[in-house]
Amino acid sequence: MFTSQSVAVFYDKLFSALDFELPHAATGRKGFPKEAMLCAFLVMKCEGFSQISDLADYLENNRLIAHYCGFDIMKPLPSYWTYDRFLRNLSNDQLKDLMAVQVKKLYELGVVDASFIGLDSTPICANTRQNNPKSFVKSKFSKENHPKSDPDCALGVHSASNQHDERRYEFYWGYKSHVLVDCISGLPLYELTTPANMMDSTVATKILSAANRVLSLQACSFLADKGYDARNIYNTVKDVYSGEAVIPLKKRGTKGGKNFAVGNPICEAGLAMHKDGKTTDNGRTRQKYCCPFRQSKTGGCPCSHKNWKNGKRNRGCTKYKTIPTDYRLSIDRSCLYFKRLYALRTECERYNSRFKATGQERLWVRNGKSAANLNTLAHISALAVACAAVMTTGIHSCRSRKALRRAA
């Protein structure tokens, strides 16, 4: 009962901002209230605990917080296995419904908006020895050596450097948390947990469709990194939601060659290449360029290109340039408007940093359902803190739980 006054007031405001009721079984043992168990996990995410044992010790030493959660503090509190079983049996759809209620509430309060939204994913390591850098297991990141402790996880890869000139990657076994963030308030709008081998671009349209049912995405500006550079995403944002896509181009095995001011590419000999018709394949139209001495009877290639003496009539090098005929290639990514909009995407990185601070960078659970529930609970805790901060006078920041705790 000797809990700090500011901490007690913080959780009192936090749980007052939540309004939910989970369905209970009609028969069987009564057990602990589901709402109290859910509030306990919110305490776990707010305190940044990565283990249930830390949560159990915290509530045991702070009975007032346990009382605010909804437990009867005159009786024994839940054990480790009670928390673990509750998390494994809880439906993730119920948590997503609770998250949707929080998003709608913040929208009515004027905190979140869908004008500028950003989508990004963050890696989450599974609880397996293959992710331990000190482990001496052979072929740790081989697809044939799947972890036995977590059958739902998958092999993924993420960049180990933010430098553009460095190509460093790290492999891991685990999951991905895909989060759609409001780039103005820095709060999540929708989230989805997938195995680590799921590409970001394959789930983007699914996330946008689910988020649109919670909050209208009409006329939005969709911001994402080059991992989402896919034609179906551009067309979905433009045609379905009447918005604009702010996504940089991903170079797919192309080399940046030199061009003249008129647009003709320069060959290896430093000469301007000539147009040689157009070709259409795979839904794209490309302009073909050929060697200026291709049909010359007296001239020769100054650099002795390997295709010059090929025994054919059409000799010399050839190059192709894609003609922008779709929305993806018609975007001017060099203008100031595009650069300023894309700069808002850094809010996704800031939120991912706050998400990892809740203890979600490496999991302690060993199944996909519990991993998805923990991720959703971490996002719900961020939204609950924002609701409590907005409804409390004098709170200027709706992102930081530390600011709300200091103000309490």
Cβ–Cβ < 8 Å for 162, 193: no
pLDDT at 80: 92
Could you read off the pLDDT of 100-123 as tens digits, one per residue?
999 999 999 888 999 999 999 999
pLDDT at 117: 95
Q: Which of 56, 54, 46, 48 is nearest to 14 (CA)?
A: 46
Query: Domain spans of the chain?
Result: 111-250+339-371, 253-325
Q: Which of 10, 19, 70 is nearest to 385 (CA)?
A: 10
Q: Domain 111-250+339-371: which topology?
A: Nucleotidyltransferase; domain 5 (3.30.420)
Average pLDDT rounded to a whole number, residues 33-60: 91
Instruction: Tell me how far CA of residue 158 lies from CA of 138, 171, 186, 322, in angstroms.
Output: 21, 7, 23, 30
Could you read off the pLDDT of 90-102 as tens digits, one per residue?
999 999 999 999 9
Could you read off the pLDDT of 127-151 as tens digits, one per residue?
998 888 888 888 888 888 888 889 9
Spatial distance between the Cα atoms of 408 and 405, rounded to a whole number of angstroms: 5
Angle at 175 between CA 173 and CA 176, to 5 degrees: 130
Task: Calculate what percentage of the chain has a pLDDT beyond 70.
Answer: 84
pLDDT at 28: 46
How buried is residue 40: exposed, middle or buried, by Cβ count under 10 Å (0-12/13-18/19+)? buried
Say if strands 169-182 and 154-159 run parallel, antiparallel, or are unpaired.
antiparallel
Instruction: Tell me how far CA of residue 103 lies from CA of 14, 55, 84, 114, in angstroms.
Output: 15, 26, 27, 11
Say if strands 154-159 and 221-223 run parallel, antiparallel, or are unpaired.
unpaired
Spatial distance between the Cα atoms of 259 and 400, rounded to a whole number of angstroms: 50
pLDDT, the chain, mean:
84
pLDDT > 70? residue 396: no
* DSSP H or E stretch at residue 227: none
Residues in the chain: 408
pLDDT > 70? residue 71: yes
pLDDT at 287: 85
Q: Which of 72-81, 231-240, 312-321 has the lowest mean pLDDT?
A: 312-321
Average pLDDT rounded to a whole number, residues 177-205: 93
Could you read off the pLDDT of 9-25 as tens digits, one per residue?
888 888 887 877 766 65
Could you read off the pLDDT of 248-296 as tens digits, one per residue?
988 765 555 555 545 678 887 777 888 888 888 777 788 888 887 777 7
Structural tokens at position 228: 């989402």
Average pLDDT rounded to a whole number, residues 393-403: 64
Q: Which residue has the higher pLDDT, 191 or 284?
A: 191
pLDDT > 90? residue 238: yes
How far apart, in Å, do the first and last CA atoms of the chain sit?
18
pLDDT at 228: 92
Residue 235 pLDDT class (50, 70, 90 cuts): very high
pLDDT > 70? residue 166: no
> Is the dihedral angle over the CA atoms 299, 304, 305, 308 positive or is it negative?
positive
Q: Which residue has the higher pLDDT, 338 or 323?
A: 338
DSSP structure string for 278-331: EEEETTEEEEEEE-TTTT-SS---TT--TTTTSSSSS-S-EEEEEE--SHHHH-
Spatial distance between the Cα atoms of 406 and 404, rounded to a whole number of angstroms: 5
pLDDT at 134: 83
Average pLDDT rounded to a whole number, residues 183-205: 93
